[in-house]
A and B are shown apart, each in its own frame.
Chain A
Protein backbone atom coordinates (compact mmCIF):
# COMPACT_ATOMS: atom_id res chain seq x y z
CA UNK A 1 0.00 0.00 0.00
CA UNK A 2 1.20 3.47 -0.87
CA UNK A 3 1.27 5.65 2.22
CA UNK A 4 2.10 9.31 2.46
CA UNK A 5 5.27 10.34 4.30
CA UNK A 6 4.74 12.18 7.59
CA UNK A 7 5.49 15.43 5.82
CA UNK A 8 3.07 14.77 2.98
CA UNK A 9 0.42 13.65 5.42
CA UNK A 10 0.80 16.78 7.50
CA UNK A 11 0.07 18.77 4.33
CA UNK A 12 -2.97 16.57 3.58
CA UNK A 13 -4.27 17.12 7.14
CA UNK A 14 -3.92 20.87 6.74
CA UNK A 15 -5.89 20.74 3.49
CA UNK A 16 -8.64 18.53 4.94
CA UNK A 17 -9.10 20.44 8.21
CA UNK A 18 -11.48 23.37 8.29
CA UNK A 19 -9.86 26.52 9.68
CA UNK A 20 -10.99 28.25 12.84
CA UNK A 21 -13.13 31.29 12.02
CA UNK A 22 -10.42 33.74 13.13
CA UNK A 23 -12.10 36.96 12.05
CA UNK A 24 -15.43 36.03 13.66
CA UNK A 25 -13.61 34.95 16.85
CA UNK A 26 -11.71 38.25 16.98
CA UNK A 27 -14.86 40.33 16.50
CA UNK A 28 -16.72 38.45 19.24
CA UNK A 29 -13.71 38.61 21.57
CA UNK A 30 -13.53 42.37 21.01
CA UNK A 31 -17.25 42.88 21.66
CA UNK A 32 -17.51 40.62 24.71
CA UNK A 33 -14.20 41.82 26.17
CA UNK A 34 -15.29 45.41 25.66
CA UNK A 35 -18.66 44.69 27.23
CA UNK A 36 -17.03 43.22 30.35
CA UNK A 37 -14.73 46.25 30.62
CA UNK A 38 -17.74 48.55 30.26
CA UNK A 39 -19.45 46.73 33.12
CA UNK A 40 -16.24 47.24 35.11
CA UNK A 41 -16.29 50.95 34.36
CA UNK A 42 -19.96 51.26 35.32
CA UNK A 43 -19.31 49.43 38.59
CA UNK A 44 -16.29 51.65 39.30
CA UNK A 45 -18.42 54.76 38.86
CA UNK A 46 -21.18 53.27 40.98
CA UNK A 47 -18.82 52.44 43.85
CA UNK A 48 -17.34 55.95 43.71
CA UNK A 49 -20.83 57.43 43.82
CA UNK A 50 -21.39 55.35 46.93
CA UNK A 51 -18.47 57.15 48.53
CA UNK A 52 -15.43 54.94 47.85
CA UNK A 53 -12.02 56.29 46.85
CA UNK A 54 -11.00 55.51 43.23
CA UNK A 55 -8.37 53.00 44.44
CA UNK A 56 -10.86 51.13 46.61
CA UNK A 57 -13.55 51.29 43.95
CA UNK A 58 -11.18 49.57 41.49
CA UNK A 59 -10.47 46.78 43.96
CA UNK A 60 -14.22 46.36 44.45
CA UNK A 61 -14.67 46.11 40.67
CA UNK A 62 -12.18 43.21 40.51
CA UNK A 63 -13.89 41.46 43.39
CA UNK A 64 -17.31 41.97 41.82
CA UNK A 65 -16.24 40.62 38.41
CA UNK A 66 -14.61 37.61 40.06
CA UNK A 67 -17.78 36.94 42.03
CA UNK A 68 -19.97 37.25 38.95
CA UNK A 69 -17.78 34.84 36.93
CA UNK A 70 -17.62 32.37 39.81
CA UNK A 71 -21.40 32.37 40.11
CA UNK A 72 -21.84 32.10 36.33
CA UNK A 73 -19.39 29.18 36.30
CA UNK A 74 -21.24 27.46 39.12
CA UNK A 75 -24.55 27.89 37.31
CA UNK A 76 -23.06 26.37 34.16
CA UNK A 77 -23.50 29.56 32.10
CA UNK A 78 -19.90 30.68 31.83
CA UNK A 79 -18.67 28.02 29.38
CA UNK A 80 -21.63 28.69 27.10
CA UNK A 81 -20.78 32.39 26.96
CA UNK A 82 -17.04 31.68 26.56
CA UNK A 83 -17.74 29.35 23.64
CA UNK A 84 -18.79 32.42 21.68
CA UNK A 85 -16.73 35.10 23.42
CA UNK A 86 -13.37 33.27 23.36
CA UNK A 87 -10.55 35.56 24.43
CA UNK A 88 -13.19 38.17 25.31
CA UNK A 89 -13.98 36.29 28.50
CA UNK A 90 -10.56 34.66 28.89
CA UNK A 91 -8.37 37.75 29.06
CA UNK A 92 -10.18 39.87 31.68
CA UNK A 93 -10.11 38.81 35.33
CA UNK A 94 -13.29 36.80 34.62
CA UNK A 95 -11.17 34.16 32.82
CA UNK A 96 -8.96 33.75 35.86
CA UNK A 97 -11.96 33.27 38.16
CA UNK A 98 -13.43 30.68 35.80
CA UNK A 99 -10.12 28.80 35.58
CA UNK A 100 -10.12 28.43 39.40
CA UNK A 101 -13.78 27.63 39.96
CA UNK A 102 -14.23 25.12 37.14
CA UNK A 103 -11.53 22.65 38.30
CA UNK A 104 -12.68 23.11 41.89
CA UNK A 105 -16.15 21.97 40.86
CA UNK A 106 -14.82 19.22 38.64
CA UNK A 107 -12.44 17.61 41.13
CA UNK A 108 -14.63 17.94 44.22
CA UNK A 109 -15.48 14.27 43.69
CA UNK A 110 -11.87 13.41 44.57
CA UNK A 111 -12.16 14.97 48.04
CA UNK A 112 -11.81 18.45 49.52
CA UNK A 113 -8.05 18.30 50.08
CA UNK A 114 -6.54 16.15 47.35
CA UNK A 115 -9.31 16.92 44.87
CA UNK A 116 -10.71 20.42 45.23
CA UNK A 117 -7.75 21.86 47.13
CA UNK A 118 -4.94 20.45 45.01
CA UNK A 119 -6.49 20.47 41.57
CA UNK A 120 -8.05 23.93 41.81
CA UNK A 121 -4.79 25.24 40.34
CA UNK A 122 -4.44 22.87 37.38
CA UNK A 123 -5.44 25.56 34.89
CA UNK A 124 -4.48 28.74 36.73
CA UNK A 125 -1.30 27.34 38.35
CA UNK A 126 1.13 28.18 35.52
CA UNK A 127 -0.29 31.71 35.29
CA UNK A 128 0.41 32.20 39.01
CA UNK A 129 3.90 30.65 38.89
CA UNK A 130 5.12 32.59 35.89
CA UNK A 131 3.12 35.71 36.73
CA UNK A 132 4.67 35.94 40.18
CA UNK A 133 8.14 35.07 38.85
CA UNK A 134 7.87 37.77 36.20
CA UNK A 135 6.71 40.34 38.75
CA UNK A 136 9.70 39.57 40.98
CA UNK A 137 12.14 39.83 38.06
CA UNK A 138 10.69 43.10 36.86
CA UNK A 139 10.53 44.33 40.45
CA UNK A 140 14.29 43.83 40.76
CA UNK A 141 14.93 45.55 37.45
CA UNK A 142 12.78 48.50 38.48
CA UNK A 143 14.48 48.66 41.88
CA UNK A 144 18.10 48.44 40.71
CA UNK A 145 17.79 50.68 37.71
CA UNK A 146 15.70 53.23 39.62
CA UNK A 147 13.05 53.32 36.95
CA UNK A 148 10.63 54.97 39.34
Chain B
Protein backbone atom coordinates (compact mmCIF):
# COMPACT_ATOMS: atom_id res chain seq x y z
CA UNK B 1 0.00 0.00 0.00
CA UNK B 2 1.05 3.58 -0.45
CA UNK B 3 -0.08 7.01 0.62
CA UNK B 4 -1.52 9.22 -2.06
CA UNK B 5 -2.07 12.91 -1.49
CA UNK B 6 -2.01 13.86 2.14
CA UNK B 7 -4.14 11.34 3.99
CA UNK B 8 -5.41 8.68 1.61
CA UNK B 9 -4.15 5.11 1.57
CA UNK B 10 -4.13 3.23 -1.70
CA UNK B 11 -3.97 -0.54 -1.59
CA UNK B 12 -1.78 -1.89 -4.35
CA UNK B 13 -2.93 -5.49 -3.86
CA UNK B 14 -6.47 -4.58 -2.82
CA UNK B 15 -7.85 -6.68 0.02
CA UNK B 16 -11.34 -7.98 -0.66
CA UNK B 17 -14.56 -8.85 1.12
CA UNK B 18 -14.84 -12.63 1.48
CA UNK B 19 -18.17 -12.69 3.24
CA UNK B 20 -20.57 -10.29 4.87
CA UNK B 21 -23.75 -10.38 6.90
CA UNK B 22 -26.29 -7.95 8.30
CA UNK B 23 -28.61 -8.60 11.21
CA UNK B 24 -31.51 -6.36 12.14
CA UNK B 25 -34.32 -5.91 14.63
CA UNK B 26 -38.04 -5.54 14.06
CA UNK B 27 -38.07 -1.91 12.94
CA UNK B 28 -35.18 -2.50 10.54
CA UNK B 29 -36.97 -5.53 9.09
CA UNK B 30 -40.00 -3.32 8.45
CA UNK B 31 -37.88 -0.64 6.78
CA UNK B 32 -37.18 -0.21 3.06
CA UNK B 33 -34.06 -2.43 3.27
CA UNK B 34 -35.77 -5.17 5.29
CA UNK B 35 -35.32 -7.77 2.56
CA UNK B 36 -31.55 -7.20 2.43
CA UNK B 37 -30.91 -8.35 6.00
CA UNK B 38 -29.57 -11.86 6.32
CA UNK B 39 -31.49 -12.34 9.52
CA UNK B 40 -33.96 -10.24 11.50
CA UNK B 41 -35.40 -10.61 14.98
CA UNK B 42 -39.00 -9.77 15.79
CA UNK B 43 -38.20 -9.96 19.50
CA UNK B 44 -35.59 -7.28 20.17
CA UNK B 45 -34.52 -8.94 23.44
CA UNK B 46 -33.20 -11.86 21.33
CA UNK B 47 -34.34 -14.08 24.21
CA UNK B 48 -31.76 -12.62 26.58
CA UNK B 49 -32.35 -10.95 29.94
CA UNK B 50 -30.73 -7.58 29.24
CA UNK B 51 -30.45 -5.19 26.29
CA UNK B 52 -26.67 -5.38 26.53
CA UNK B 53 -26.76 -9.15 26.14
CA UNK B 54 -29.17 -8.75 23.25
CA UNK B 55 -26.70 -6.46 21.48
CA UNK B 56 -23.81 -8.84 22.14
CA UNK B 57 -25.95 -11.57 20.61
CA UNK B 58 -26.52 -9.42 17.52
CA UNK B 59 -22.77 -9.18 16.99
CA UNK B 60 -22.28 -12.87 17.60
CA UNK B 61 -24.94 -13.78 15.02
CA UNK B 62 -23.47 -11.36 12.49
CA UNK B 63 -19.96 -12.82 12.77
CA UNK B 64 -21.25 -16.40 12.67
CA UNK B 65 -23.30 -15.70 9.54
CA UNK B 66 -20.54 -13.77 7.77
CA UNK B 67 -18.11 -16.62 8.49
CA UNK B 68 -20.61 -19.16 7.20
CA UNK B 69 -21.15 -17.17 4.00
CA UNK B 70 -17.40 -16.77 3.46
CA UNK B 71 -16.86 -20.51 3.84
CA UNK B 72 -14.19 -20.06 6.51
CA UNK B 73 -14.14 -20.91 10.19
CA UNK B 74 -13.36 -18.68 13.17
CA UNK B 75 -10.08 -20.57 13.54
CA UNK B 76 -8.97 -19.34 10.12
CA UNK B 77 -9.32 -15.68 11.14
CA UNK B 78 -6.15 -13.93 12.30
CA UNK B 79 -7.66 -10.86 13.90
CA UNK B 80 -11.04 -9.29 14.64
CA UNK B 81 -11.60 -5.53 14.87
CA UNK B 82 -14.83 -4.79 16.67
CA UNK B 83 -16.57 -2.00 18.52
CA UNK B 84 -19.93 -0.63 19.61
CA UNK B 85 -21.50 2.27 21.47
CA UNK B 86 -21.70 0.86 24.96
CA UNK B 87 -19.22 1.84 27.66
CA UNK B 88 -15.94 -0.03 27.18
CA UNK B 89 -17.44 -1.77 24.11
CA UNK B 90 -19.02 -4.61 26.07
CA UNK B 91 -21.22 -5.82 23.22
CA UNK B 92 -18.07 -6.73 21.31
CA UNK B 93 -16.29 -8.30 24.28
CA UNK B 94 -19.17 -10.49 25.37
CA UNK B 95 -20.49 -11.20 21.90
CA UNK B 96 -17.15 -12.29 20.46
CA UNK B 97 -15.76 -14.21 23.42
CA UNK B 98 -16.66 -17.63 22.06
CA UNK B 99 -14.98 -17.17 18.68
CA UNK B 100 -11.46 -17.10 20.14
CA UNK B 101 -10.13 -14.84 17.38
CA UNK B 102 -7.34 -12.38 18.39
CA UNK B 103 -9.32 -9.28 19.31
CA UNK B 104 -8.62 -5.57 18.94
CA UNK B 105 -11.46 -3.46 20.33
CA UNK B 106 -12.29 -0.21 18.56
CA UNK B 107 -14.29 2.88 19.33
CA UNK B 108 -15.37 5.10 16.49
CA UNK B 109 -19.00 5.62 17.52
CA UNK B 110 -21.18 5.27 14.41
CA UNK B 111 -18.10 5.34 12.14
CA UNK B 112 -16.90 2.01 13.57
CA UNK B 113 -17.73 -0.07 10.49
CA UNK B 114 -15.44 2.02 8.28
CA UNK B 115 -12.76 2.12 10.97
CA UNK B 116 -12.70 -1.65 11.50
CA UNK B 117 -12.81 -2.33 7.74
CA UNK B 118 -9.94 0.06 7.10
CA UNK B 119 -7.80 -1.58 9.78
CA UNK B 120 -8.70 -5.05 8.49
CA UNK B 121 -7.66 -4.02 5.00
CA UNK B 122 -4.33 -2.66 6.25
CA UNK B 123 -3.65 -5.86 8.20
CA UNK B 124 -4.47 -8.07 5.22
CA UNK B 125 -2.52 -6.14 2.62
CA UNK B 126 0.52 -5.77 4.85
CA UNK B 127 0.56 -9.51 5.37
CA UNK B 128 0.09 -9.16 9.11
CA UNK B 129 -3.10 -11.17 8.71
CA UNK B 130 -4.31 -13.61 6.10
CA UNK B 131 -7.92 -12.90 6.97
CA UNK B 132 -9.47 -10.30 9.27
CA UNK B 133 -12.96 -9.65 10.59
CA UNK B 134 -14.63 -6.23 10.92
CA UNK B 135 -17.81 -6.04 12.94
CA UNK B 136 -19.93 -3.57 14.87
CA UNK B 137 -23.41 -3.28 16.33
CA UNK B 138 -25.88 -1.01 18.05
CA UNK B 139 -29.17 -1.59 19.85
CA UNK B 140 -31.85 1.04 20.28
CA UNK B 141 -32.66 0.00 23.85
CA UNK B 142 -29.11 -0.27 25.20
CA UNK B 143 -28.14 3.05 23.59
CA UNK B 144 -31.21 4.90 24.88
CA UNK B 145 -30.47 3.72 28.37
CA UNK B 146 -26.83 4.81 28.25
CA UNK B 147 -27.16 8.09 26.36
CA UNK B 148 -30.70 9.28 27.00
CA UNK B 149 -33.60 8.34 29.26
CA UNK B 150 -35.13 5.02 30.35
CA UNK B 151 -37.16 3.39 27.58
CA UNK B 152 -40.56 3.74 29.19
CA UNK B 153 -39.98 7.34 30.22
CA UNK B 154 -42.54 9.56 28.55
CA UNK B 155 -40.69 12.20 26.57
CA UNK B 156 -41.03 13.89 23.21
CA UNK B 157 -38.22 13.62 20.68
CA UNK B 158 -37.30 16.65 18.62
CA UNK B 159 -37.63 16.54 14.82
CA UNK B 160 -33.81 16.56 14.50
CA UNK B 161 -33.33 13.45 16.69
CA UNK B 162 -32.20 10.22 15.04
CA UNK B 163 -33.20 6.67 15.84
CA UNK B 164 -30.46 4.25 16.95
CA UNK B 165 -30.67 1.16 14.76
CA UNK B 166 -30.93 -2.27 16.34
CA UNK B 167 -28.57 -3.94 13.92
CA UNK B 168 -25.17 -5.40 13.32
CA UNK B 169 -22.95 -5.73 10.27
CA UNK B 170 -19.90 -7.91 9.76
CA UNK B 171 -17.44 -8.27 6.88
CA UNK B 172 -14.63 -10.79 6.46
CA UNK B 173 -11.58 -9.33 4.72
CA UNK B 174 -9.05 -11.44 2.85
CA UNK B 175 -7.72 -12.15 -0.63
CA UNK B 176 -9.57 -13.31 -3.75
CA UNK B 177 -13.03 -11.94 -3.03
CA UNK B 178 -15.19 -10.04 -5.51
CA UNK B 179 -15.50 -6.65 -3.80
CA UNK B 180 -12.16 -4.86 -3.49
CA UNK B 181 -11.11 -2.29 -0.92
CA UNK B 182 -9.19 0.08 -3.17
CA UNK B 183 -8.54 3.09 -0.99
CA UNK B 184 -9.19 4.32 2.48
CA UNK B 185 -8.95 7.48 4.51
CA UNK B 186 -8.92 7.85 8.27
CA UNK B 187 -10.73 11.07 9.12
CA UNK B 188 -9.74 13.89 11.44
CA UNK B 189 -11.75 14.96 14.45
CA UNK B 190 -13.84 17.97 13.46
CA UNK B 191 -15.77 20.19 15.86
CA UNK B 192 -17.92 23.08 14.75
CA UNK B 193 -19.51 23.69 18.11
CA UNK B 194 -22.71 21.62 18.00
CA UNK B 195 -23.80 20.63 21.53
CA UNK B 196 -27.26 19.23 20.87
CA UNK B 197 -27.23 15.43 21.25
CA UNK B 198 -30.64 15.41 19.60
CA UNK B 199 -29.03 16.76 16.43
CA UNK B 200 -26.12 14.43 15.77
CA UNK B 201 -26.37 14.75 12.00
CA UNK B 202 -25.47 18.42 12.35
CA UNK B 203 -22.56 17.54 14.62
CA UNK B 204 -21.12 15.00 12.15
CA UNK B 205 -21.74 16.76 8.83
CA UNK B 206 -18.57 18.94 9.00
CA UNK B 207 -16.44 15.81 9.54
CA UNK B 208 -18.08 14.12 6.55
CA UNK B 209 -17.53 17.19 4.41
CA UNK B 210 -13.86 17.44 5.47
CA UNK B 211 -13.07 13.77 4.80
CA UNK B 212 -14.90 13.67 1.47
CA UNK B 213 -13.17 16.87 0.36
CA UNK B 214 -9.75 15.54 1.33
CA UNK B 215 -10.37 12.16 -0.27
CA UNK B 216 -11.46 13.67 -3.57
CA UNK B 217 -8.48 16.02 -3.54
CA UNK B 218 -5.98 13.27 -2.67
CA UNK B 219 -7.29 10.95 -5.38
CA UNK B 220 -7.95 13.63 -8.01
CA UNK B 221 -11.48 12.36 -8.48
CA UNK B 222 -14.90 14.03 -8.59
CA UNK B 223 -18.24 12.75 -7.20
CA UNK B 224 -19.48 11.73 -10.64
CA UNK B 225 -16.59 9.23 -10.90
CA UNK B 226 -18.46 7.08 -8.36
CA UNK B 227 -21.70 5.12 -8.67
CA UNK B 228 -22.60 6.18 -5.18
CA UNK B 229 -21.27 8.13 -2.21
CA UNK B 230 -22.87 6.80 0.94
CA UNK B 231 -22.51 8.67 4.21
CA UNK B 232 -23.65 7.17 7.48
CA UNK B 233 -25.57 8.43 9.47
CA UNK B 234 -26.16 12.10 8.85
CA UNK B 235 -29.92 11.82 8.58
CA UNK B 236 -32.00 14.63 7.13
CA UNK B 237 -30.36 17.59 8.85
CA UNK B 238 -26.77 16.39 8.44
CA UNK B 239 -27.31 15.62 4.78
CA UNK B 240 -28.57 19.14 4.13
CA UNK B 241 -25.52 20.57 5.91
CA UNK B 242 -23.14 18.27 4.03
CA UNK B 243 -24.52 19.43 0.68
CA UNK B 244 -24.28 23.02 1.76
CA UNK B 245 -20.71 22.76 3.06
CA UNK B 246 -19.38 20.85 0.07
CA UNK B 247 -21.41 23.05 -2.28
CA UNK B 248 -19.58 26.09 -0.95
CA UNK B 249 -16.35 24.31 -1.91
CA UNK B 250 -17.53 23.62 -5.45
CA UNK B 251 -18.36 19.94 -4.89
CA UNK B 252 -21.82 18.78 -5.88
CA UNK B 253 -23.00 15.42 -4.56
CA UNK B 254 -26.41 15.61 -6.23
CA UNK B 255 -27.43 12.37 -7.87
CA UNK B 256 -24.63 10.26 -6.38
CA UNK B 257 -25.17 10.72 -2.66
CA UNK B 258 -27.32 8.83 -0.23
CA UNK B 259 -27.16 8.53 3.51
CA UNK B 260 -27.42 5.23 5.39
CA UNK B 261 -29.51 6.96 8.07
CA UNK B 262 -32.04 7.96 5.42
CA UNK B 263 -31.98 4.60 3.63
CA UNK B 264 -32.55 2.28 6.58
CA UNK B 265 -35.99 3.58 7.61
CA UNK B 266 -38.98 5.14 5.96
CA UNK B 267 -39.05 8.53 7.67
CA UNK B 268 -42.68 9.11 6.72
CA UNK B 269 -44.14 6.03 8.32
CA UNK B 270 -41.62 4.74 10.86
CA UNK B 271 -41.54 7.68 13.30
CA UNK B 272 -37.75 8.00 13.27
CA UNK B 273 -37.70 11.78 12.89
CA UNK B 274 -34.42 12.79 11.12
CA UNK B 275 -33.40 9.19 10.24
CA UNK B 276 -31.36 6.32 11.64
CA UNK B 277 -28.08 6.31 13.54
CA UNK B 278 -25.89 3.99 15.61
CA UNK B 279 -22.93 1.81 14.60
CA UNK B 280 -25.32 -0.84 13.33
CA UNK B 281 -27.02 1.57 10.93
CA UNK B 282 -24.23 2.18 8.41
CA UNK B 283 -22.76 -1.28 9.15
CA UNK B 284 -25.94 -3.12 8.24
CA UNK B 285 -26.68 -0.88 5.25
CA UNK B 286 -23.18 -1.66 3.94
CA UNK B 287 -23.09 -5.36 4.80
CA UNK B 288 -26.73 -6.00 3.91
CA UNK B 289 -27.70 -3.67 1.11
CA UNK B 290 -24.64 -2.08 -0.54
CA UNK B 291 -22.33 -5.09 -0.72
CA UNK B 292 -25.15 -7.20 -2.15
CA UNK B 293 -25.74 -4.58 -4.83
CA UNK B 294 -22.02 -4.57 -5.61
CA UNK B 295 -21.95 -8.33 -5.96
CA UNK B 296 -24.84 -8.16 -8.40
CA UNK B 297 -22.89 -5.55 -10.34
CA UNK B 298 -25.51 -2.85 -9.73
CA UNK B 299 -22.87 -0.70 -8.02
CA UNK B 300 -19.25 -0.92 -9.17
CA UNK B 301 -17.39 1.91 -7.53
CA UNK B 302 -18.60 3.45 -4.29
CA UNK B 303 -17.42 5.54 -1.37
CA UNK B 304 -18.57 4.39 2.05
CA UNK B 305 -18.17 7.33 4.43
CA UNK B 306 -19.24 6.30 7.92
CA UNK B 307 -19.54 9.16 10.40
CA UNK B 308 -19.29 9.07 14.18
CA UNK B 309 -20.24 11.54 16.93
CA UNK B 310 -17.46 11.33 19.47
CA UNK B 311 -19.13 12.26 22.71
CA UNK B 312 -19.88 10.41 25.93
CA UNK B 313 -22.69 10.85 28.46
CA UNK B 314 -20.14 12.54 30.75
CA UNK B 315 -18.86 15.05 28.18
CA UNK B 316 -22.45 15.74 27.27
CA UNK B 317 -23.44 16.41 30.90
CA UNK B 318 -20.46 18.70 31.28
CA UNK B 319 -21.62 20.77 28.35
CA UNK B 320 -18.84 19.90 25.90
CA UNK B 321 -19.29 20.10 22.14
CA UNK B 322 -19.92 17.00 20.04
CA UNK B 323 -16.91 16.45 17.75
CA UNK B 324 -17.41 14.27 14.69
CA UNK B 325 -15.24 11.99 12.60
CA UNK B 326 -15.68 10.37 9.19
CA UNK B 327 -13.66 7.52 7.72
CA UNK B 328 -13.86 6.67 4.03
CA UNK B 329 -13.45 3.47 2.06
CA UNK B 330 -13.48 3.17 -1.69
CA UNK B 331 -14.97 -0.18 -2.68
CA UNK B 332 -14.97 -1.49 -6.23
CA UNK B 333 -15.89 -4.55 -8.27
CA UNK B 334 -14.45 -5.36 -11.67
Contact = CB atoms under 8 A, between A and B. Distances in A.
B193 A6 contact: yes
Contacts of A19: 159
A25 B160 CA distance: 16
Interface stretch (B75-83, B110-118, B239-247): B239-247
A105 B213 contact: no
A17 B199 contact: yes
B214 to A, nearest CB: 7
Given A12-B244, A13-B237, A98 B192 contact: no
Contacts of A79: 151-155
A1 B210 contact: yes
Interface in A59-107: 73-74, 76, 78-79, 81-83, 85-86, 89-90, 95, 98-99, 101-103, 105-107
A82 B210 contact: no
A3 B209 CA distance: 9
Contacts of A76: 152
Contacts of B276: none
Contact of B156 (A1, A3, A83, A109): A83
Interface string A8-30: 01101100111111000100000
Chain A contact residues, majority secondary structure: helix
Interface in B129-164: 145, 149-160
Interface in A92-128: 95, 98-99, 101-103, 105-107, 109, 122-123
A20 B192 contact: no
Contacts of A78: 152, 154
Chain B contact residues, majority secondary structure: loop
Interface residues on A, range: 35 or more
B294 to A, nearest CB: 29
B43 interface: no
B149 A4 contact: no
Interface centre among A3, A82, A98, A123 (most CB of B within 10 A): A3
A55 interface: no
A81 B151 contact: no
Interface residues of B, number: 36
Contacts of B241: 12-13, 16
A79 to B, nearest CB: 5
B190 to A, nearest CB: 8
Given A6-B192, A6-B193, A109-B50, A81 B159 contact: no
Interface in A14-61: 16-21, 25
Nearest to B242: A16
A30 to B, nearest CB: 15
Given A10-B193, A17-B237, A19-B159, A98 B149 contact: no
A82 B155 contact: yes
Given A1-B210, A4-B245, A19-B159, A13 B199 contact: yes
Contacts of B108: none
B231 to A, nearest CB: 15
A9 B153 contact: no
B151 A102 contact: yes
A82 B154 contact: yes
B152 A102 contact: yes
B159 A99 contact: no
A113 B322 CA distance: 34
Contacts of B160: 17-18
B268 interface: no
Interface in B180-194: 192-194
A38 B278 CA distance: 42
Nearest to B213: A1
Interface of A: 1-4, 6, 9-10, 12-13, 16-21, 25, 73-74, 76, 78-79, 81-83, 85-86, 89-90, 95, 98-99, 101-103, 105-107, 109, 122-123
Interface of B: 49-52, 145, 149-160, 192-194, 199, 202, 206, 209-210, 213-214, 236-237, 240-241, 244-245, 248-249, 274
13 contacts: A1-B213, A2-B249, A4-B206, A10-B194, A16-B240, A79-B154, A81-B154, A83-B154, A83-B155, A103-B150, A106-B152, A107-B150, A109-B51
